[in-house]
Structure formats: structure tokens, C-alpha cells
Amino acid sequence: MRIPLLDLVRQYRQLQGEIDPAMKAVLEKGAYILGENVAKFEEEAAAYCGTKYAVGVANGTDALELAIKALGIGSGDEVITTPFTFIATTEAICLNGAKPVLVDIEPDTFNIDAASIEKAVTSRTKAVIPVHLFGQACDMDTVMSVAKKRGIRVIEDCAQAIGAGFKSKRVGGFGDFGCFSFFPSKNLGCFGDGGMVTTNDKTLAGKIKMLRAHGQAGGYRHETEGRNSRLDEIQAAVLRIKLRHLDGWNNSRRKNAGSYNRLFEEMGKKGGLSLPVEKSGRKHVYNIYNIRSGGRDKLRESLTAKDIATAVYYPIPLHLQPVYSGLGWKKGDFPVSEKACEEVLALPVFPEMEEEEVRFVSRGVIDFLEGKH
Ligand SMILES: *Cc1c(COP(=O)(O)O)cnc(C)c1O
């Protein structure tokens, strides 16, 4: 049995009857940029996230970059985040001329160690970017209370976590901004690149709208320079349809994760394997189901030989990336992140997976652990 990490065509086939006519309608209408689908998607997505506003942008990286810019953060400023995330998070800080300051992660959730944020705050700190990594919310009570106490802004990186919950709220509504990606592999993905910024502040929403369209305040009047970073109409039409299925898909991901957890327990001891942890009061949406194993690379080879696709998110922590070699970080600076990079392995967990496929992957992992490979 060949098991892919993700099968986007399976998802398209399920929705083809809805998606094809919606895309055709956009083509027939002839309004391709910032049309009615973008406006409606923004309303529907804001309602879904429980925020007052949502603004569509070209991708998740731009969402972060524009959010930082809208808060007036730039040269000489510091922004706190973790070294265990996709590079877009720090890229967005650096593209604004600000300096990323890193804080290590919690070993069980892989999210920022919120209790350590305050130690990293200096007089130059302007914001913190908690990344809701792999689909689980950060400890937003602690993040928000530190931010309030020290007077810094909060920009949530929600790229992997649309629909994830912390207590009674969904991510994207805690901080000044929530930044989302609709890259095809995210829980809500379009047929190309797409992104969104959420906020509860009308002025900030207006700033993002201006920045995504060259800083235009209407009628070719430019109050600032922005970007060309719009969500396009065809993607918005697709996202409106997919948004209605998102909770179902997130629940299927949770079900698959639950099946893995149960099968790994049932099929015998977990022999050096750690399973993902869902903290109480949080709803994990499993964009990625990451196990940890000291023998990760051999386990991965064995699964590859069985035609089971896996991935490593992330093999190199940001502080050790060649691009940041000039920033003074060294090996040993963030040991929890470094260890995670050596041990994590993502198993397929996409919503369209059959129970039989989940079993096949679990069997592959257990056989390896029991030496039967
Ligand atoms: C995917 C991702 C981004 C960037 O999104 P793009 O749409 O690919 O630009 C940012 N942060 C995290 C954590 C991501 O996983």
C-alpha cells in the first residue's frame, strides 16, 4: 500500500461538483482582483475565527510581514519568537528591518515556552509572535499576560492552526493580529498561494487593507508604501467552499491522530516513541502529527521502504540556519529545539485517510520498533 503524506486530489474529487462551477463563475464574471468572493470570504472567515475583521492577502508570509509593518515595527526593534518554526516567521521580522529574538520551546507541545518570554523582553522589544505549531494553540493566557504587563504587541502565527482552540476561543483572536496561510498543505488550503490577517481592531484592519494594495488610501492616493499582496478572486471562491468543510476535516484529522495514539498503545509498548500531546483546554487540529524517536532517521528509512511517506518538520532550528550565521547564535543556545529537530517525524494524518491506511502506517512504525523490518 502506498501512503502519501497528503492527497490533495482526493479532497478535490470530493468537492469537484461545488468547486468547478464556482471557479467558472469567477471566470465568466471577469472581476479577478478584490471582487465579491474576497469580500464575502473575509466576512465568513472572520466569523469562523471569531474576530471582527479578516483581510485576505497573497500568502501567509505576507500576512506576517504586513502585520508587523502595520504595527510600525522596524529598524532597531526586537520581536520575540522561537527557533522551531518555518522560516517565514523570522523572515517577516527581518524583512521589516527588525531583529528576531528567540526563546526556546516546550518539549511536549513544541510551542514557545511562554513562561520564558519575559526574560527575553528588553527596552527594544515591540512584539512577540507565538506560533501555534503543528495545529495546537500556544499557552495564550501566559503570552497575553506577559504582553500586557510589558506593553508589547502580539501577532499570532496561525498558519498551521486554523480552527484550533484555546479554552473557548479559536486562534487568531487573542493578539493584535492573527496571520493565516492557505498554502495547499495547510488545514484550509487553496489551489496556489493565499493568506489572511485577522484582527478585532478596525484601524489595524484598515492598515492591512492599505498595505496589501501599495499603501493606497483609495484613488491612487498613497500614504505609505505597501506591497502588492492580495488574495485573488479565484482562490477566494475556492476558499469559501472549503471553509464550510473545515470543521469536518479538522475533526477527521483529530480522529486519525486518536487512532494512531490508540494503535500505538494497543500494538504493544511504544518503545522509545513519544506521541503528540494535546494540552487540556486546547483543541489540536493536527496539521502535522509528529512522533518523536531517538532512532528517527532509521525509522524514516524503514517507512520509506514500505512506501509510507513521512516528513521532518524541522530538521534545522532557525538559529543554526546558514542564513542567520551572522546573528551570533550557536549550537547549544536552544537545546529543546535542537533536540526536537533530531527526533521529530511527521506521519500522514490528512482528513481523507482511510482507517486501513492509518493502521498500515502504525503497523509500519511498530514493526520497526520491534525489529521486524
Ligand atoms: C506555512 C507557514 C507560514 C507561511 O505561509 P505561506 O503561505 O507559505 O507564505 C508561516 N508560518 C508558519 C508556521 C507556516 O507553517
For residue range 211-258, list pLDDT tens digits in order.
999 999 888 899 899 999 999 999 999 999 999 999 999 999 999 999
For residue 280, the CA-to-ligand 1 centroid distance in Å is: 26
Determine the 3-state secondary structure of 287 from DSSP.
coil
For residue 85, the CA-to-ligand 1 centroid distance in Å is: 9
Q: Which ligand 1 atom is the nearest neighbour of the CA of 185?
A: 1
Amino acid at 359: R
- Probe residue for ligand 1, chosen from 160, 179, 190, 229 as the CB with the greatest number of ligand atoms within 8 Å: 160
For ligand 1, is residue 346 a contact (CB within 6 Å)?
no
CA distance 206 to 289: 36
Omega before residue 314 within 30° of 0, cis: yes
Q: Which ligand 1 atom is the nearest neighbour of the CA of 61?
A: 9
Crossing angle of helices 60-70 and 202-212, in 10° steps, is: 120
Confidence of residue 372 (pLDDT cuts 50, 70, 90): confident
Torsion of CA 111, 115, 117, 119, to 10 degrees: -150
CA distance 90 to 87: 6
Confidence of residue 371 (pLDDT cuts 50, 70, 90): confident
Residue 266 has what pLDDT? 81
Torsion of CA 211, 111, 248, 365, to 10 degrees: 130
Residue 237 has what pLDDT? 98
For residue range 295-333, list pLDDT tens digits in order.
999 999 999 999 999 999 999 999 999 999 999 999 999
Residue 61 has what pLDDT? 98
**Span 170-174, mean pLDDT?**
98
pLDDT of 368 above 80: yes
For ligand 1, is residue 140 a contact (CB within 6 Å)?
no
CA distance 65 to 225: 13
Distance of CA 62 to the CA centre of its chain: 13
For residue 64, the CA-to-ligand 1 centroid distance in Å is: 9
For residue 120, the CA-to-ligand 1 centroid distance in Å is: 24
Q: Which ligand 1 atom is the nearest neighbour of the CA of 85?
A: 13
Q: Is the pLDDT higher at 283 or at 218?
A: 283
Domains of the chain: 8-103+111-240 (3.40.640.10), 246-369 (3.90.1150.10)
**Span 168-176, mean pLDDT?**
98
Least confident of 7-16, 33-42, 152-161, 216-225: 216-225
For ligand 1, is residue 159 a contact (CB within 6 Å)?
yes
Confidence of residue 18 (pLDDT cuts 50, 70, 90): very high
For residue range 51-77, list pLDDT tens digits in order.
999 999 999 999 999 999 999 999 999
Residue 155 has what pLDDT? 98
pLDDT of 373 above 70: no
CA distance 352 to 147: 39
List the helix and strand counts (H, then E) for the chain. Answer: 12, 13
Amino acid at 243: L
For residue range 64-123, list pLDDT tens digits in order.
999 999 999 999 999 999 999 999 999 999 999 999 999 999 999 999 999 999 999 999
DSSP 25-80: HHHHH---BS-HHHHHHHHHHHHHHT-SEEEEES-HHHHHHHHHHHTT--TT-EEE
For ligand 1, is residue 111 a contact (CB within 6 Å)?
no
For ligand 1, is residue 61 a contact (CB within 6 Å)?
yes
The residue whose CA is least distant from atom 7 of ligand 1 is 60
pLDDT of 270 above 70: no
CA distance 350 to 347: 9
For residue range 178-198, list pLDDT tens digits in order.
999 999 999 999 999 999 999
**Span 141-153, mean pLDDT?**
98
Q: How large a percentage of the chain has pLDDT more than 90?
A: 95
